[in-house]
Amino acid sequence: MSRYILSRLVLAVVMALLATLVIFLLANTVPGDPVLAQLGDLAASNKEFVAEWRAKWGLDLPLWQRYVIFLQQLLHGDLGISISSQRPVLQDIRDFAPATLELASIAFLLSLVVGIPLGIMAAMRRDSWIDHLARLISLIGVSSPTFWLAFIMLALFYGGLQIAPGPGRIDAIALPPTSVTGLYLIDSALGGDWDTFRDAAAHLVLPSIVLAAATLGLITRTTRASMLESMQQDYVRVARAKGIRERRIVIGHILPNALIPVVTLGGLAYANLLTGAVLTETIFSWPGLGRYTFRSAVTLDFPAIMGITLIVAVVYLFINLLIDISYALLDPRVVR
């Protein structure tokens, strides 16, 4: 087992580096010039200024040398300096990641807590009102464009009914809690500042529902389909023939088997939530990684692009690794 995990780990590191190489090459094939994404008109037309600027960011070096420098820095745990924010990429990521982590985690929990029971119920009462309702919810969740759903939610609950707070992580005039983890819920709870905790929690409701919508739909549908399949299995028929109570059949026999695909899907969905919240973050003015990624990409901020690629790759690979390991635990045949 440990050999299996070790080999997967080595593979994960190689994959992460490969991902950065691909992105590095891809980002550098864009015909746009980062000078022109960063400098004003007068400065960009001054040859000396531009030359000095390129040298400062290492953009005057050959491509391979730049990648080697990236790897060298990486060995020292350094992701370089972001061209557009002029701060260490690691510091930027540390600043922006907590907002995304908090939002994605709440959204993920929400989609599990609602999606799994809903899927189970839909499967057990196939073609009943609850199945139709589940279908409707997942259909809306999967098919509504995020920016549309985000805006409708804001307009309805914030603008119209006025029961939800507006964009941002906390009220406009509130001060953020003293930063320990960067997660406002945890930081405010640690400081015993329950007003801020309530404020931060309320600000999380709408964006996490919006972000959860698509995942919720997927999880509901997958749970339902997987449940239906498990219910047809021989061991369920046997259990029922033995006269075991329905409740025990569901919990003890059907669910454990039916949830395996949900584990896989859930893992990847979480990774996806962590890395793909650009639109939700935009509409809700959420100061997270999504916006940072978007901005880095459009301004050709190479160090930031590389840093984020690495983080995203690591997140995916780590979660994949967890899934693989859980497979190995669930099904010993995988290791052999």
**And the tokens for 60?**
């005057």
Residue 173 binds to another protein (criterion: CB under 8 A) = yes
Residue 135 binds to another protein (criterion: CB under 8 A) = no
Residue 250 binds to another protein (criterion: CB under 8 A) = yes
The SS3 assignment for 81 reads strand
**Options 96, 108, 184, 302; binder of another protein; rule CB under 8 A:** 96
Question: Which residues inside 269-328 make contact with another protein, applying CB under 8 A?
Answer: 282-285, 287, 291-292, 295, 298-300
Q: What is the rounded CA–CA span in Å between residue 44 and residue 53?
A: 10
Report CA 41 to chain centroid distance, whole Å.
37
Residue 20 binds to another protein (criterion: CB under 8 A) = no
- Of the candidates 113, 118, 114, 145, the one whose C-alpha atom is nearest the C-alpha of residue 133 is 118
- Of the candidates 319, 269, 292, the one whose C-alpha atom is nearest the C-alpha of residue 16 is 319
Q: Give the nearer residue to another protein in terms of CB position, either 24 or 158.
A: 158
Stretches 43-51, 70-78, 217-225, 315-323: which one binds another protein (CB under 8 A)? 43-51
Residue 143 binds to another protein (criterion: CB under 8 A) = no
The SS3 assignment for 88 reads strand
- Sole residue written with tokens 């960011």: 57
Residue 32 binds to another protein (criterion: CB under 8 A) = yes
Taking the complex as a whole, the smallest distance from the CB of residue 231 to another protein amounts, in Å, to: 8
* Ramachandran angles phi, psi of 88, nearest 5°: -55, 135
User: In the structure, how many helices (H) and strands (E) does the chain have?
Assistant: 17, 0
**Options 5, 17, 37, 328; binder of another protein; rule CB under 8 A:** 37
Q: Give the nearer residue to another protein in terms of CB position, either 169 or 221.
A: 169
Taking the complex as a whole, the smallest distance from the CB of residue 256 to another protein amounts, in Å, to: 14
Judged by phi (left if over 0) then psi (alpha if -120 to 50, else beta), residue 300 lies in: left
Residue 209 binds to another protein (criterion: CB under 8 A) = yes
Taking the complex as a whole, the smallest distance from the CB of residue 135 to another protein amounts, in Å, to: 14
Residue 169 binds to another protein (criterion: CB under 8 A) = yes
**Options 13, 198, 235, 252; binder of another protein; rule CB under 8 A:** 198
Taking the complex as a whole, the smallest distance from the CB of residue 154 to another protein amounts, in Å, to: 6
Residue 158 binds to another protein (criterion: CB under 8 A) = yes
Whether 119 contacts 220, CB under 8 Å = yes
Q: What is the rounded CA–CA span in Å between residue 165 and residue 216?
A: 23
